[in-house]
Structure 1
């Protein structure tokens, strides 16, 4: 059941634009950046960030996508002995000695990010890995902290954050739901 809408389309646009500016500023440009979205919604967000960075800097950083399915620490628990559905990792650019910015929609326990970092390290050895998220809802189980945050939304464990993006959900919105 939807409890509240916390970000509408304009708020999401503003948050992504601010994150793009912060990424550029912190890295003193985009020359050594690679943006990688965590499937599924992180992939759409990474494209939007790359578009904004290109508009600001005149240079589009390379983008890629990472599938964390085989890196999950709960695969045997969640899979119920079913074969996991692989969505594929697609990183067509060199990441060695680059700054990789991992992009995801929601940061919760940190386990997805840990799995994504493992997947990235199997592709090469970046100089730095940074994390950009649209929503940080707290409740970390691992010592992972985002470098760029669209919005902090403290939640209870009984609440869920739903991120909807036009590319797959036909609207841009972030809402809190209760069971």
Structure 2
């Protein structure tokens, strides 16, 4: 199964509308998790009623499983060009699976300050949870077997497909 740019744009339109409704004029910032979440955050920001300050987060050093997953050869630094204290944060990722990336991202955010709130927005939720984390806004929920993943390619055009990790 795969999603072309037009199908993903439909998801992004509905997600942006849900963000606008949820924020209801509250001052907020948009933070995308590297790399797919950053692509989604940028695309969402163009669709919001009012563009938000945009930052990126790379929680690689905050993960509790990088000893088993490994660490990429190059880790880009997080870029948060605004104060976190008291902000309503819209945290964006491409795929919510175990919850470990989101936990790591929230740990890093709290090292930058104390946000007023965090709204989690994901393009896909595939539900292989290991931690009690849920998305507030989700483009599409999928029931995939444990050996399958959704892979996002981008930033432009954005396309996604299901990959089998046992191949």
Band of TM-score, shorter chain = over 0.9
- CA RMSD across the alignment: 1.6
Which of 21, 25, 49 is the equivalent residue of 1:25?
Answer: 21
Q: Map Cα deviations across residues 91-145 of structure 1 (whole Å, 9 max, x no partner).
A: 0012211110110110000000000000111111101011111100111000000
Partner residue in 2 for 1:175: 161
* C-alpha contact 1:69 1:84 (8 A) present in aligned 2: no
- Per the alignment, in what secondary structure is the counterpart of residue 154 of structure 1? coil
Which whole-Å CA distance do the structure 1 matches of 2:126 and 2:66 have between them?
23
2: distance between equivalents of 1:136 and 1:83?
24
Unaligned runs of 5+ in 2: none
Match of 1:85 in 2: 74
TM-score w.r.t. length of structure 1: 0.86
Change (3 A) 1:64 1:142: same
* Residues paired across the two proteins, number: 165
Q: Contact 2:127/2:143 (CA < 8 Å) preserved in 1?
A: yes
Aligned to 1:49: 44
Alpha-carbon distance between aligned partners in 2 of 1:128 and 1:166, rounded to the nearest angstrom: 27
Report SS of the residue matched to 1:122. Answer: helix
TM-score of the aligned structures, taking structure 2 as reference length? 0.92
CA distance in 2, matches of 1:83, 1:116: 16
Gaps of 5+ in 1: none
Alignment equivalent of 1:106, drawn from 95, 108, 115 = 95
Q: Given the alignment, which residue of 80, 84, 87 partners 1:95? A: 84
1:12 to 8, 12, 24: 8
